[in-house]
Structure 1
Amino acid sequence: MASRETIRAAYEDACRQEVEALKPGNVHLFADGHRMTVQEFLTSAKVSAAPLTDPSLPLGRRILEAVRATRAAVDTNTNLGIILLCGPLAAAAAMDGANLCENLNRVLQKIDLDDTAAVFEAIVRASPGGLGSASEHDVREAPTVGLLEAMGEAADRDRIARQYVTGFADIFDLGLPALEAAIERGETGMWPAVHAYLEFLTAFPDSHVQRKFDLEEAEQVRDEARSVRAEFALAQNDEQRVVVLMDFDARLKAQGINPGTSADLTVACLLVHNLGVRLARALG
């Protein structure tokens, strides 16, 4: 079981590490974008950390209060996906038992209608780009089913929703192995996070891009990302890597394309990794 202070620090570090990493199409230290700045993301992480790790709050309220705090501080949706992913992970890390995946499944199975209503309200308050009405389980209406069922209905078109019904499989089976393999190879600084991001960006169409544009556009971004990743792998040094990624970044931002889901998933990977490192230090 991790302390609240440990979880909060791991969360804030994950948010900082993600925004410091050069993630083409998203906001990062090398370039702002989409009328958002690095400082807004850092502020969002700081103000959302307290409610997201508050042990006195049920999961739904943690998510809702984190969104409220963010909107009050920056008045834009910088982190809804991050909050939806990191809320359950933070709750799981605070539970007894060393297996984060088992704890996470316990957290997800305990979600009730009150949690669901709070999460629906959080989504509406955040006003994510491309949010439209749904034929079933519309977040603008009072929930009639639990959050897992609602997320299951959206899982084919929303990769964050998909995590709730797969035990966060993309985090544990795709992104985290890519991040930790990069660390094992000796990658430092922002590069492990970049590798995790590219793993997501090339594995499936980014659902944020799909929601704002369409599936065809999201698939085109994925296919271009695969070519960029191959070029990135051939770069002889970090300077060449930066050039490859910045060229892609400029092309995406010129078209208003923001693969935000891949960035959100990257934060969740960093949180899981950071929790493991911090707990190992505490036990060591």
Structure 2
Amino acid sequence: MTGWAPIPPDPASGVAGAYRAACHVELRALKPGNVHIHADGHGMTVAQFLASADATAPILAQPGLSVGERIHAAVAATRAVAGCNTNLGILLLAAPLAQAALAGGGSLRDRLGHVLANLTVADAELAFRAIALAEPAGLGRVEGADVHAPARVTLLAAMREAQDRDRIARQYATDFADVFETGVPCLRRWLDAGAGFAQAAELLYVEFLATVPDSHVIRKYGLERAEWLRSRASELREDAVPDRAFTLTRSRLAELDREFKYNGVNPGTTADLVVGCLLAFWLMQWP
């Protein structure tokens, strides 16, 4: 199988390596509207994203930390090296996945379910501080789980409250359903068909963007703009069928990339989900 990964020498180095690989592959993929090696965008550069990945990998993989501690320390490290929010959604997805991988025993998703079920109010407090520090665009205030106020519920409860308006929060509420039920199978299908990892990531990005309105775009610009993005991506998805597996050429993706960036829209949640899926895919290869 194309996606085979060697067993890591130890869990921590394995998690760090898988996380770095996921971040690097996502940057090699031409994801319309987002930063990638083919074009910067939205005042951010590939170098900032690479620096963020390098700074946060050892934190996410460090044994003995809680999920909240991983998130907060990683966001602080990102601010120190990048000076802006390059990876909040990625870190919110990666922290519980890393925690589950480090725990060992059973399937990754089963371990993840245990991690999520045992999240605490302290995890929520640290995550809230991290989100406020990252200053994501379009962040509002919500009764009961306002990141600008002290946490009163567990991180899982807070994410459940937010799941209808934020796709990253929805992953916590559903044991990462988009990742394990859509993303990982999609990656595996394209890899088995002969795609490289960057191309498989592009196809997964289109799959998500064409089927799920991007919650980052909804927060910044409203549902109508997010639906416009979904419609444009759907035109590409129609060609992504087995008998025309690789018709999503770089030129077509680049054209859509220019169109999205010209209109100032950044489907950041969709890109974050791609990283989460790549990370889960690699972590699932290990016993």
TM-score, normalized by the shorter chain, greater than 0.5: yes
Name the CA distance, whole Å, in 2 between partners of 1:60 and 1:237: 40
Name the CA distance, whole Å, in 1 between partners of 2:97 and 2:245: 35
Q: 214, 217, 222: which is aligned to 1:206?
A: 214
Q: Which residue of 2 aligns with 1:269?
A: 277
Q: 8, 21, 44: which is aligned to 1:36?
A: 44
Q: Which residue of 1 aligns with 2:263?
A: 255
Cα deviations by residue, 1:214-243 (Å, 9 ceiling, x for unpaired): 011111111111012225669989797011
Residue 135 (str. 1) matches residue 151 (str. 2): no
* Deviating more after overlay: 144-153 vs 247-256: 144-153
Amino acid at match of 1:139: V
Q: 152, 155, 159: which is aligned to 2:167?
A: 159
Q: Say which SS state the counterpart of residue 249 (structure 2) adopts.
A: helix
Residue 7 (str. 1) matches residue 15 (str. 2): yes
How many residues of Structure 1 are paired with residues of Structure 2 in the alignment? 279
Q: Say which SS state the counterpart of residue 284 (structure 2) adopts.
A: helix
Name the CA distance, whole Å, in 1 between partners of 2:65 and 2:202: 33
Name the CA distance, whole Å, in 2 between partners of 1:240 and 1:83: 29
Q: CA deviation at 1:272?
A: 1.1
Residue 111 (str. 1) matches residue 119 (str. 2): yes
Residue 21 (str. 1) matches residue 29 (str. 2): yes
Q: Which residue of 1 aligns with 2:4?
A: none
Structure-2 change in CA distance of 1:213 and 1:14 (3 Å): same
Q: Say which SS state the counterpart of residue 94 (structure 1) adopts.
A: helix
Name the CA distance, whole Å, in 1 between partners of 2:240 and 2:184: 19
Name the CA distance, whole Å, in 1 between partners of 2:15 and 2:244: 37
Unaligned regions of 5+ residues in structure 2, if any?
1-7
Residue 69 (str. 1) matches residue 69 (str. 2): no
Name the CA distance, whole Å, in 2 between partners of 1:234 and 1:96: 36
Q: CA deviation at 1:31?
A: 0.5
Name the CA distance, whole Å, in 1 between partners of 2:121 and 2:143: 19
Q: Say which SS state the counterpart of residue 138 (structure 1) adopts.
A: coil
Q: CA deviation at 1:136?
A: 3.2
Q: 190, 201, 217: which is aligned to 1:193?
A: 201
Residue 94 (str. 1) matches residue 102 (str. 2): yes
Name the CA distance, whole Å, in 1 between partners of 2:244 and 2:174: 38
Name the CA distance, whole Å, in 1 between partners of 2:182 and 2:201: 13
Amino acid at match of 1:242: R
Name the CA distance, whole Å, in 2 between partners of 1:71 and 1:12: 18
Per the normalisation by structure 2, the TM-score is 0.93
8 Å contact from structure 1 (residues 228, 248) kept in 2: no
Per the normalisation by structure 1, the TM-score is 0.94
8 Å contact from structure 1 (residues 117, 142) kept in 2: yes
8 Å contact from structure 2 (residues 32, 260) kept in 1: yes
Q: CA deviation at 1:58?
A: 1.1
Amino acid at match of 2:37: L
Structure-2 change in CA distance of 1:234 and 1:55 (3 Å): closer
8 Å contact from structure 1 (residues 44, 70) kept in 2: yes
Unaligned regions of 5+ residues in structure 1, if any?
none
CA RMSD of aligned residues (A): 1.9
Could you list the runs of 4 or more consecutive aligned residues of structure 1 that deviate by over 2 angstroms after TM superposition?
Answer: 228-240
Alignment identity in percent? Answer: 45
Q: Which residue of 2 aligns with 1:215?
A: 223
Q: Which residue of 2 aligns with 1:126?
A: 134
